[in-house]
Amino acid sequence: MSPERQTFDLVIAANRLPVDKVITDDGEIEWRRSPGGLVTAMESVMRTQPGAWVGWAGDSGEAPEPFDEDGIHLHPVALSAEEVRDYYEGFSNDTLWPIYHDVIVPATFHREWWAAYRAVNERFARAVAEVAAEGARVWVQDYQLQLVPALVRELRPDVRIGWFNHIPFPPVELFAQLPWRAQLLEGLLGADFLGFQRQADARNFVRACRQLLGAPTKRDLVTVEGQHRRVRAAAIPISVDFHGLEELAKRPDVMARAREIRASLGDPEVLMLGVDRLDYTKGIRHRLKAYEELLSERRLGPPEVTLVQVATPSRERVEAYRTLRNEIEQTVGRINGDLAKIGAPAVHYLHHSYPREEMAALFQAADVMLVTPLRDGMNLVAKEYVTCRHDLGGALVLSEFTGAWHELHQAFACNPHDIEGLKQTILRAINTPAKDKQRIMRALRRRVADHDVQRWAARYLAALDAAPEVPQPTAGGPSRSAEKPNPAAVQDSSHAAAQEPAPQEAGR
């Protein structure tokens, strides 16, 4: 860092920086944009609003010095190998992740994992406090940093603090299993505004504060006793960079690649596609089971119909993920061994990630997109698919248990736990007349275009500025956050959340 400390009016804190370190053939270090929905969403925000991004660089050991990359000031936070194991793989992904996703697999509780989680959150809070300007807006991201809001408030009472949850927030009956439930809620209540993907998630949080902390609540407000503050929790669902992704999808080379993909697969009549992180929440096993039964019943079959399943590697040092990978690969092998034909696999299974151009081409090549998670905070893949279908082709099969379904309810909805129902939905997506599918796709695209990532960020930051309480300025001068809130911004975000379809809670 330069001798004169840089500070910023907008500070993003997330578990990871938006770049990955790459060693070139010449031995030089390069930083390249990371994959993932959070990075995709936040990167476009930082392009229009200069600020700092606090996060882990991805390697254990000492953190690199702060640096600028593509117009964003990056402030790396160090994690030791033990902290990667205990804070990230352990507490974040083997304790919190299962609880927040309906305990699809059992959660594991270890006190040393909790100690590492708290230590890393404290380190993030100190880094945020260091780079935040007087009266800055601090926007903390996701479940790995739930203690950061309160810790930052202790260090910097002058700043405006928001937190956004990219995954579901569980019902109190599940959240209550956490031995550290009170500390997590108190950490989040350090924020001025808490954003969630769905109304149900915001309600779950408010209910948890009322039942587990005894905090007074009224609609979407929680009163923090002893601090004379109120915290607002509301739904502001995340989205994608519609115009940027559509522009990419319309490039001649991307459209040519889509045609090439279909040709390389034998020009099937129906190409179905799944694109997921290899995670037990994504419903990949249920999807494969439904497809296998359709093949066995001869209602579908190669080479006329084929499935491409992209499974991006994820958390492979966590036991549940290693087990899942083995199960899926065995299932794919069985399907192809029993039901494929020579030169015409029933499933093309791809266990690696792809650049955005290739994904845009895959989306345009696919006749049916299968987005069937058992539980998902949003699932941006559904919105990316819709965005790439500028030709109004394709059909989206979408799980009711995604945040995306509450916005894209014209899609071919399914309950992925209901294998027979999932099979019928897949057949309906295939057999619905092209004219009707175009009408559906037009409506889906209109929704995503109108509610893109730029609007999401603007609505979130407006809601943060209009949060119930105004931070007190420090001795350094008046806080920008003390400006008069914009009531219209509050009404806009509240109204938009209220317009979401009532959630269906089957299977909770």
pLDDT digits (tens, 9 = 90+) for 247-267: 999 999 999 999 999 999 999
Answer yes or no: is 344 within a domain: yes
From first to last of the 508 residues of the chain, give the pLDDT tens digit.
444 678 999 999 999 998 887 777 787 777 777 755 566 667 666 777 779 999 999 889 999 999 988 778 999 999 999 999 999 999 999 999 999 999 999 999 999 999 999 999 999 999 999 999 999 999 999 999 999 999 999 999 999 999 999 999 999 999 999 999 999 999 999 999 999 999 999 999 999 999 999 999 999 999 998 888 999 999 999 999 899 899 999 999 999 999 999 999 999 999 999 999 999 999 999 999 999 999 999 999 999 999 999 999 988 888 889 999 999 999 999 999 999 999 999 999 999 989 899 999 999 999 999 999 999 999 999 999 999 999 999 999 999 999 999 999 999 999 999 999 999 999 999 999 999 999 999 999 999 999 998 899 889 999 999 998 766 555 444 333 333 334 334 344 444 443 333 333 333 2
In a domain, residue 493? The reply is: yes
Q: Does residue 275 sit in the same domain as residue 217?
A: no
| pLDDT for residue 483 | 39
Does one domain contain both 226 and 249? no
Task: Tell me: do 478 and 392 sit in the same domain.
Answer: no
Question: How many other CB atoms sit within 10 Å of the CB of residue 23?
Answer: 9
272 and 234 in a single domain? The answer is: no
CA 127 from centre of chain: 24
Q: Which of 128, 144, 127 has the alpha carbon at shortest distance from 136?
A: 128
Burial of 218 (0-12, 13-18, 19+ CB in 10 A): exposed
Please tell me whether residue 205 adopts helix, strand or coil conformation. helix
Please indicate, yes or no, whether residues 46 and 100 belong to a single structural domain of this protein: yes
Provide the number of structural domains found in the chain: 2
Contact 76, 56 (CB under 8 A): yes
**Residue 377, phi-psi category: left (phi > 0), alpha (psi -120 to 50), beta (remainder):** alpha
**The domain spanning residue 327 has which CATH number?**
3.40.50.2000
- Which helix (H) or strand (E) segment holds residue 161: the answer is strand 160-164
- Are 192 and 337 contained in the same domain? no
Same domain, 72 and 19: yes
pLDDT at 471: 60
Specify if 322 maps to a domain: yes
pLDDT at site 221: 97
Last residue of a domain, one of 450, 474, 489: 450
Write down the pLDDT at residue 495.
41
Is 505 a member of any domain? Answer: no
What element of type H or E holds 444? Answer: helix 434-450
> Does some domain include residue 508?
no
Q: Would you say 346 and 308 are in contact if contact means Cβ atoms under 8 Å apart?
A: no
Residues 168 and 207 in one domain: yes
Q: What is the pTM of this model?
A: 0.89
pLDDT at residue number 36 = 58
Residues 427 and 314 in one domain: yes
| 218 domain residue, yes or no | yes
pLDDT at 249: 98
| Amino acid 161: pLDDT | 98
Domain that holds residue 474: 8-238+453-498
Q: Return the CA Rg of the chain.
A: 23
| pLDDT for position 478 | 39
What are φ and ψ of residue 163, in 5° steps? -140, 140
Give a yes or no: residue 3 inside a domain.
Answer: no
221 domain-assigned: yes
Q: Are residues 93 and 202 in the same domain?
A: yes
Residues 115 and 209 in one domain: yes
Q: Cα separation of 144 and 315, whole Å? A: 14
Shared domain for 264 and 368, answered yes or no, is yes
Measured CA to CA, the distance from residue 178 to residue 166 in angstroms comes to 19
